[in-house]
Amino acid sequence: MKVANKQLTEWDAELNQLHERNGDLGLKVQMLEQELKEARRDREANKNSAPTVAEFPEPADLLNQLKARRKKSKADLADMDTVVELLSQLWSGETVP
């Protein structure tokens, strides 16, 4: 009888420990779910605030800036137009020939 009571007491203590651990794990799950929600919200906010299209200067403005920095540059407006077009394609993920 004493042995049976001792065994029951041990099982009861073990059961209490398991209940505590289960409660701790439940809290941890709730905290991780909250973190996940916040991370998703932050990611969505970042996605919405990030520019989807690059805005490049006008080719004429680029040419003027180039001529101001490199007086002897042989580039012309058609060259700058091509550069802006290439940059736009690269930015949008298109393949550039």
Check whether 45 has a pLDDT greater than 90.
Answer: no
Nearest residue to 77 via CA among 86, 66, 92, 87: 66
Contacts of residue 57, Cβ cutoff 8 Å, sequence gap at least 6: 65, 84
Average pLDDT across the chain, whole number? 85
Mean pLDDT (whole number) for 70-86? 89
pLDDT digits (tens, 9 = 90+) for 50-69: 555 567 788 898 889 888 99
